[in-house]
Structures are given as C-alpha cells and as structure tokens.
Amino acid sequence: MFTYIVSGFPRSGTSMVMQALEAGGIELVYSELRDKQMNEAMSDKEYKANPKSLYETPVPLQASPGFPLPYTGKALKVLLPPFGTATTLELGIYVVIIMKRDPEEVRQSFEAFFMPRGGKWPFQNRDHYNTLFESGVKLLKLRNDTKVLVWNYKNVISQPLKHFKQVWNIDAKAAASIVDPELYRFQLKKLTKGA
C-alpha cells in the first residue's frame, strides 16, 4: 500500500488535484477547521480563494515523527520547500504528484490570494521559482520509494483524464470529472505583459 502526496508550490493546482483524488476514491488527510479558517481569511466578496477547500496538511503534522507513515493509503498535500516538507518524507511507498504552473500565473494568483492580506511574493524572479521547483523535483526523483509524476497545471485542465489514468488505484473518470476549467482564472494568455 502506498501514500499519495500532492505537491508543488502554492497556487499551482494542488487543491484541485486533492479534490479530484477524493472523487476518485482516495481518503484525504487535512484539517477541516484550519482549511475553513484559511479560506475565510483569504476570501472576500470579490475573490473566493478555493470554492471547495484548500486541503492543507498542517505544518506541525508534517513535522511529527514518522510523518506521513500513519496515513498510508491516503492522500495528503505536502508542498515543496520552502513551503512544506515534501522532500523529507520518511521511508515509505509514495505516489507523488507535483503540480507545475507558469510562474507568472502563480504570481498573479498569489497576489490575488495572499497580498491583499499582507502576504509577500516569495520568489525573487522566474529563475528563482524554477530553480527551487527543479531542486525539489530532483530530490524526490532520487528516492527509491517514490513514483514521481510532474504535471503541468494547464495540461491537467485541458486533459484531466489522461493525467488521472497515471495514478494507481483510483477511479480516473470520477477524478477527472472534478477538474473545472472555469477555475483557471489566472491564465498566462489573459495576463497583460508586466502585470
């Protein structure tokens, strides 16, 4: 039995994948109370952070001894460093889905989500974003206990069934049915240059 880990950086589609895995028959591990508090704090009448949930795995849980071994067979969102502990998981058997999204789309989404509430863009530039991302992916691919799937957000939106067929032991059609192109609010082609 293996554990599903959904990873990447904030605002890259990780919550969408968590929701899809749940629809595909996988039990999720997250704090519903923390999720509700975060979603309420980060939303207003003009911007709803995530319509369903954020599916956040609390950082103290990620730091607990043996994490995530007690959750074998379930799915958890564990972000790449510096936001999470995805590269330091205990020895186990994992399917890790890493979401990648264009840094400019992530920046725009991040600004809408965090900056009105005092958050700061954590990357120096596109190269910094890509370097941190590739470093995390490389560390996970070096593990012998991990199947790593790197998915581009735009491609998951356009071909969800193709992607969810790559994941073991789920109902791929049910998972793919959750993907809503309407939630792709910050598309590179829609963004103005320099915005």
pLDDT confidence of residue 154: 93
Closest CA to 92 of 57, 50, 135, 144: 144
Of these ranges, 11-15, 24-28, 78-82, 182-186, the one predicted with the greatest mean pLDDT is 24-28
Other C-beta atoms within 10 Å of 56: how many?
Answer: 24
Q: Cα-atom radius of gyration of the chain, to the nearest Å?
A: 16
| End-to-end CA gap in the chain | 45
Are the CB atoms for 101 and 152 separated by under 8 Å? yes
Closest CA to 10 of 149, 118, 162, 123: 123
User: Using one digit for the tens of pLDDT, what is the confidence trace for 18-57?
Assistant: 999 999 999 999 877 766 766 666 655 554 556 567 788 8
Tell me the average pLDDT across 100-120.
82
Domains within the chain, CATH numbers bracketed: 3-185 (3.40.50)
The encoded tokens of residue 82 equal 């510096």
pLDDT confidence of residue 40: 66
Any bridge partners for residue 5, and if so which?
Answer: 76, 96
pLDDT tier at 194 (50, 70, 90 boundaries)? Answer: very low
* CA–CA dist 17, 59 (Å, integer): 19
